[in-house]
Amino acid sequence: MKITKIGYAATGAFSQTVTDYLCCNEKLQPFYNHFPSPEAFGAQLKEKDFSEEQRHTLFAALQQQYKSVSEVHPAVQQNLDLLKEPTTYTVTTGHQLNIFTGPLYFIYKIITAINTCQQLKEKYPGYNFIPVYWMATEDHDFAEINYFNLFGKRYAWETEQAGAVGRFSIEGLEEVLEQLPEKYPIFEDAYRNNKNLADATRAITHALFGEYGLVSVDGDDKVLKQEFIPVVKKELTDQVSNKLVEKASAELEQEGYKSQVYSREINLFYLKDNLRERIVIEDDRYKILNTDISFSKEEILKEVEEHPERFSPNVILRPLYEEIILPNLAYIGGGAEVAYWFQLKQLFEAFKVAFPVLMLRNSALYINKGNANRMHKLGVQPEELFQDYQDLKKQLSSQIHEEEINLEVQRKKVAAAFAEVEEMAKEIDPTLVKAVGAEEQKAHNALQMLEKKLSKARDNKHEQTFKQLENLKDKLFPNGSLQERQDNLLTYKTNNPDFIPALIEAFDPFDLKFTILEEE
C-alpha cells in the first residue's frame, strides 16, 4: 500500500474553521483547551477529574449493556474491567446508528480513536487508554441513517417507527439483507439476532473492532442518566446553556466563523418509546411539543428525579453529558463536529467539567488497484485528483499537447516527385503531361484527406483520455464529494478483507494530514 499525505486545505473539502484550527490560528484559541498533540495529553490527564464512584457506575452500566453481545471479545472485557482503575481514561468518537455502518467516515472515526489510544499508551505507559464509540441511540433523525450506498446502489430501510432510533425494532432490515448482492455474515448476525437497532449496532462495531478493544457506549441508560440529573435540573430552571452558547456563537461569528449548531431556550428533549420531542416553556408550564403532556416546575423536577432516562440532551448538551459520565480526554469528530464544539467551551467551564482535546478524525481517499492503474496511465499524481475536473483537464491537455498534424512536407516531396515525372513525360511524349498533372492532383487530394483523418483520430484519442479522466474522478469522488462521505465500508472490504488493518496502519491521528491510500 502506497501512502501519500497532503494538507487538509489542499483538498478543498474542509471549512476555513477546520483549516484555521489545524494551523493554530490565534482567533480560535479562546474556544478550545489543548491543541491535539501527544504532549497536550499530559496536562489533560491532570485536569480530568473522575471519581471511583463514577467509574463503578460506568462499569456496571456497560456490563449490563454488553449482555446483548453473545461472546464479548477478551480485549473489550479487559477494557471494561480497566474502567474501574484510576489510571484508565477514554478517547471518544460518536456517530449516528447508520445501518450497515453508513458512510466510510464512521469507520475512520473509530480507527482514529483506536490509533490515538495506541499512541498515548506508548507515550504514557503508566496509564490505560480505551477507544470509545458513543452510540447516538437517542437521535431521532431516522431519514439520516436509514440508507447506505453499496457499489453505487442505494439500499434503504423503511419503517413507520418514531422516537429514539436506538429503541427501534429491527423488523424490516431482513428485507434489506435479502436485496444485497451477497451475504455479509457480520450484518446477517447483527440484524437477524438482535431486538433493537442499538444492540445490533453494538454487535456490528464489536465484530469489526472488538479485537482492538473498542467499547461502545449507549447513553440511553437510566443508570448513566442519574449522573446527569444536576445538569438537567439546572437546564430546566435556569436555561444556562442557551445563554452561554449564544454568547460563544456571537464571539465566533465576530471572528468570522459561522455557527454550526443553534441553541434552544431549553436544550432537552422528553423521551419515551416512540416519542422524542422538545421541552418548551409556555405560560409558566413545561410543555412537550406535539403532545398534550405538560408539567409545572415542581412536577417536572420530580419527573427528573424519578425518571432521568426520560430527559434526552440535544446536540448542545450531549457533549456535556458524555464528558460527565466518561473519564474522557479527547473527542474525535468530523469537521462540522469539531467546529460546533468551539461553541461549547464556556458551557463546560460553567459546570466545571474539563473540556476535552478536540481532534479531527482521519480522512482518506482509497484508490484500489484498478483505479490506481488508470491514474498512472493518465499521468496524474494522487494529490492532483482533488483539482476541479476542468482544471485537471487543462493540465492533462498541456501534458499531451502536440503540434498540429500537417503533411506539408510530404506534399512538397510528392510535388517534387511529380515534377521529375513531368520532365520525363515532356521528353518522351508531351501528350502525357496532362495525365501526370491529373495524377498529381489526386495525390495531393489523398494527402489532404489523410491529414484530416489523422487529426480527427488524434482528437478522438485525446477525448478518450479525457473521458477516462472524468470516469476516474467520478469513481473516486462520487456525486462530486469525498469518497468517505458517500461510499460504504462493504464497497472496499468485500474486495479487500484487510481494509480495516490497512487503515489502522496508515492513519496517524496526530499528523493532521489527509491520507491517500493507493493499492500497488
DSSP string, 198-247: HHHHHHHHHHHHGGGT-EEEE---HHHHGGGHHHHHHHHHH-HHHHHHHH
Say whether both 468 and 499 belong to one domain: no
* pLDDT tens track for 326-379: 999 999 999 999 999 999 999 999 999 999 999 999 999 999 999 999 999 998
Report if residue 310 sits inside a domain. no
* Cβ atoms within 10 Å of 191's Cβ, excluding its own: 24
Say whether both 51 and 11 belong to one domain: yes
pLDDT number for residue 3: 95
Report if residue 487 sits inside a domain. no
Say whether both 398 and 468 belong to one domain: yes
pLDDT number for residue 394: 79
Where residue 100 falls (left for φ over 0; alpha for ψ -120 to 50; beta otherwise) is left
pLDDT of 403 above 60? no
Cell of 293: 403532556
pLDDT of 299 above 90? yes
Say whether both 500 and 458 belong to one domain: no
* pLDDT tens track for 429-441: 888 889 989 999 9
Report if residue 509 sits inside a domain. yes
Polymer length of the chain = 520
Report if residue 258 sits inside a domain. no
pLDDT number for residue 457: 75
The residue whose grid cell reads 489526386 is: 442
d(CA 501, CA 357): 26
Say whether both 353 and 422 belong to one domain: no
- Give the percent of the chain with pLDDT over 90: 87
d(CA 294, CA 268): 14
d(CA 38, CA 258): 29
Report if residue 476 sits inside a domain. yes
Report if residue 319 sits inside a domain. no
Segment holding 271, helix H or strand E: strand 268-272
Report if residue 403 sits inside a domain. yes
Let me know: does 279 contact 291? Beta carbons within 8 Å: no
Let me know: does 443 contact 468? Beta carbons within 8 Å: no
Say whether both 465 and 508 belong to one domain: no
Please name every residue paired with 93 in a beta bridge, in sequence order, or none if there are none.
133, 332
d(CA 330, CA 90): 7
CA distances from 488 to 148, 157, 316, 492 (A): 7, 15, 28, 8
Say whether both 458 and 510 belong to one domain: no
Number of alpha carbons in the 13 Å side-chain half-sphere of residue 262: 0
Q: Which residue segment(s) compose the domain that 462 sits in?
A: 382-481
Say whether both 63 and 177 belong to one domain: yes
Domain count, the chain: 2
Report if residue 293 sits inside a domain. no
Q: Of 323, 146, 135, 332, which Cα lies nearest the Cα of 220?
A: 135
Say whether both 6 and 140 belong to one domain: yes
Say whether both 27 and 133 belong to one domain: yes
* pLDDT tens track for 239-271: 999 999 999 999 999 999 999 999 999 999 999
Say whether both 354 and 417 belong to one domain: no
* pLDDT tens track for 448-460: 999 888 867 766 7
Say whether both 465 and 331 belong to one domain: no
Per-residue DSSP letter, 17: H
